[in-house]
Every structure is written in structure tokens, then in C-alpha cells.
Structure 1
């Protein structure tokens, strides 16, 4: 099973190609004031995530392996890009998988690491815009994915909840990116809301299919993960809590 996951990851990497289109919001595209604002908004999430991640990983080698796998997945799938708006592009995010298996706090950290290395090694995104990209992808995307999964799992079933969580978390990333671009570069003769809708309309052409694909791939990967890795995921912890609650009700 683990070899199958590695093969899928390698396949995604080979699909990435060598296009020079910038992904996320590119370096220098946001005014200095907005760059500082998004960085300031993001840093508390980052430090909170570091604290939670350190506590969860302490002395747990298997969970470290799971975190490394999720980080690699986010890096690779978010490098699969399609040209879209000037200064940005459409791409999968991978944060749904991380949010479901680790919780959103882990993604707050992993996402920043991914964005940093993509800016450094691939010239995708940028350092000044990293805060804005982190808010849209690793904070909002992760929180939406986690919230949808938790809220719908018992109502619509496991696989459907995973699909919706990954797909809608992906799409919400671009809703926020559209707002960020509209605030920084409102269209002539339009207010901020109208500009955001125009940005999102362009993104949606490529992002909706990508979000659907990401939802399907996330379901497949979670079903493929080896049992020893899943035992260290947030899912395993949630199931254990539910079993204890159900057991307490029966005994009560």
C-alpha cells in the first residue's frame, strides 16, 4: 500500500511539468501594506500550529512519518498549476488531506513550509506574499476542510464527507485569494465586492474541476494509507473517542 502511495505521488510530480507560470500570489504583486497585514494575520496561526504539532509529535515516530507524507503531498499537488489571472494561477492545494488526518493546526505549519520552499526552489509565490497565500490556503482552506468533514461525516458518510471537505476547502482558498486580489487591485469602475466576484469568476473556470479532482484523489489516498499510519491520524483519535462515548452510553 505504501508503495502505491509513493507511486501516485511520483506520478503527480511528473505531471507537474516545467511551466514558468507563477502560482499562489506572486512576489511583489501585493502592495507593502497588504503584505504586512496578511503576514501579521497569519503569524498567530503559525505559532499556535507549531506548539500543537510539537506536542503531538513528541516521541511518536509513526506520526512524524505521517506528517512528512502529508507535507510532501501538499508540496506536490499544489505545484500542479494552470495559468489563470495575472499574478496568480489555479492549482490543487492538498490541505484537505492534511486537515482531515492531522487537524487544521498541523496544516498551518506544513503549509507555510511548503510555500517557503516553493518560493525558494521553484519561484512560485513569494516571500512578501507568503502571509497572504498562507491565510488563503493553509488557514482558511484547512479550517473549511476540517469543519466540513467533522460536520458532515455522520450525516452523509465517510467518503462523501472526505470528498466535500477536500473539494470545498480547495475552492474556498480561491474565494479568499479573490478577496485578497480585489482589496489590493480593485478593477476600474468596480467596488471591492464586484472586483472579488470578477476575480473568482475567472478562477472558477479552472478551479472547480481541480477542486473536484482533489476531492476524489483525497478519498482514494485516505483509503490507500497503511493501517499503521492511520492509527496515528486524527481520524483514529476521533473514532476512539466515539467508541468510548458509545460504550459509556451503553454501560450507563
Structure 2
């Protein structure tokens, strides 16, 4: 019980630290109308196939396991809360966590495209965080690239034999960082530098957010690990259904020789 209380307090503390920062800076989600229409349409077209695959993935997951719907909704809420917490960066911009690492580990990367697009639509409409024309680009960076990196990282560290905590931490942190690298590349492609082209522009955009995004990635890794630990305590049955926990052999089922 003391361990559970300690984890809960640490989670509350970390979230509180995020929330005390002011939120009046420009959002890292690409804002409404910021991308040229040809690039906005391009990212929409790239995003749609992943959205279809995500819908199929979620349907297959919850079809025979209705009790997983609550865990899926929690993953979506986790994304919404973390990605809405904006921390000011340089040049009047801002950075924020993404929250996609947890859901990627639990339900796979394609499912996050659906949760991500839902979260981004609500944030664009209710919080003026991002936009509808730029929804394809924002979904691709935060809900497609980020989740695939998180999932791949988790599986890699799992195969290397590391602990669950390290695997979850690295998955969440690297997924967060890759989201911002992707966003920087999207902006660089749309607005190449007059001197140095896309590469120089990408370095500029990545440099703007590096100061705040690296600490944020570390913080997101810690928070995701704490939440995962809580799930192992309170949602062990669901995690076993998702093949994330090894089912322990029940002593009473063992046959004595």
C-alpha cells in the first residue's frame, strides 16, 4: 500500500509541475493555416491509411475483450492531458509531452492513430491547439511516427532483456523526441531556408525546441513508467490479455510428483 501511495504521489507531483507553467505561448502542434495547402493536403493523404489500419486494430482488440475499452479510453485521456500541457520554449513557441508511448505499448502503434486524431480534433476545437487543416501533419508526427518509434523501442529493449521500467521509459522518451524531429522536418519541407534549404531549416526548427523538449522527453518517460506501474497493480488482468505480463503458474495447479 505504501508503494502504491508513493507512486500515486509521484505521478500527481509530476503532472502538477507540468500544469504550473503558463500556457499562453504558441503551440508546438502546427497551427491552423500555417502550412501551405499543398503540404496540408499531402499529410492528410499520408495519414488516412494509418487511420484505417488503426480502426481495424482497435476493432480486433476490443471485439472479444470488451473490458479493454476502459483501458483504451484511459490511454486516450492520457494523451489528451499530456499533449495539452504546453511549456514555453524560445522564440515565443512552446513544447509539450505527447503521451502516445503508453498506448503504443498497450495496444500497438496503429491504434494510436485513431486516439491521436480524436485528441487533436478536440484540442483544435476546444483549446485552439493545432488546427483542422493541419490535422494530417500533426497526426502523422504525434500519432503515427511517435507511436511506431515507441513500440519499436519497447520491443527492442524487451528483447535485450532489460526491465519493464527501462523499456517503458525509453519507449516514451524516444517516441516523444521523434515526434518533434518529425514536426521539424514537416516545417522544414514547407519552409526551406533560403541559405541551406531543407536541411538548414530542419536544424533551425529542431534547435528551437531542443532546450525544452529533451527535459520533457525525460519527464514523459518517468510519468509513463509510473502510470504503467500503477496499471500492473490495478489492471493486471487486462495487461495479461494484452500479452504484456507473463501469466504466473498457479501453485495449486502444479502436480506433485
Normalised to the residue count of structure 1, the TM-score between the two structures is: 0.86
Shift of 1:89: 2.9
Shift of 1:161: 1.1
Matched residue, 2:105? 100
Moved more, 83-92 or 100-109: 83-92
Shift of 1:11: 4.4
2:167 maps to 1:184? no
CA contact (8 A) 1:149 1:165 kept: yes
Q: What are the Cα deviations for residues 62-102 of structure 1, in whole angstroms up to 9, with x where unaligned?
A: 21110111111100000111234779631100001110111
Match of 2:173 among 155, 167, 171: 167
Q: Whole-Å Cα distance in 1 between the matches of residues 197 and 28 of structure 2?
A: 25
Q: What are the Cα deviations for residues 194-247 of structure 1, in whole angstroms up to 9, with x where unaligned?
A: 211121111111100000000011111100125453432488414459x9xxxx
SS at match of 2:243: helix
Q: Can you give the 5+ residue segments of structure 1 that lack an aligned partner in the other structure?
A: 244-252
2:88 maps to 1:83? yes
Matched residue, 1:248? none
2:56 maps to 1:51? yes
Shift of 1:58: 2.1
Number of corresponding residues: 242
CA contact (8 A) 1:100 1:234 kept: no
Structure with bigger gyration radius: 2
CA contact (8 A) 2:23 2:85 kept: no
Q: Whole-Å Cα distance in 2 between the matches of residues 136 and 166 of structure 1?
A: 14
Matched residue, 2:35? 30
CA contact (8 A) 2:236 2:245 kept: no
Task: Specify whether residues 110 and 233 from structure 1 end up closer, same or farther in structure 2 by C-alpha distance, changes over 3 A only.
Answer: farther
SS at match of 2:95: strand
What do you get for the CA RMSD once the two structures are aligned? Answer: 2.8
Normalised to the residue count of structure 2, the TM-score between the two structures is: 0.84
Task: Specify whether residues 24 and 188 from structure 1 end up closer, same or farther in structure 2 by C-alpha distance, changes over 3 A only.
Answer: same
Matched residue, 2:121? 116
SS at match of 1:56: helix
Task: Specify whether residues 138 and 113 from structure 1 end up closer, same or farther in structure 2 by C-alpha distance, changes over 3 A only.
Answer: same
Q: Whole-Å Cα distance in 2 between the matches of residues 35 and 151 of structure 1?
A: 33
Task: Specify whether residues 196 and 141 from structure 1 end up closer, same or farther in structure 2 by C-alpha distance, changes over 3 A only.
Answer: same
2:158 maps to 1:153? yes
SS at match of 1:124: coil
SS at match of 1:189: coil
Moved more, 58-67 or 112-121: 58-67
CA contact (8 A) 1:112 1:134 kept: yes
Match of 2:69 among 53, 64, 71: 64
SS at match of 1:225: helix
Task: Specify whether residues 200 and 235 from structure 1 end up closer, same or farther in structure 2 by C-alpha distance, changes over 3 A only.
Answer: farther
Q: Can you give the 5+ residue segments of structure 2 that lack an aligned partner in the other structure?
A: 250-257
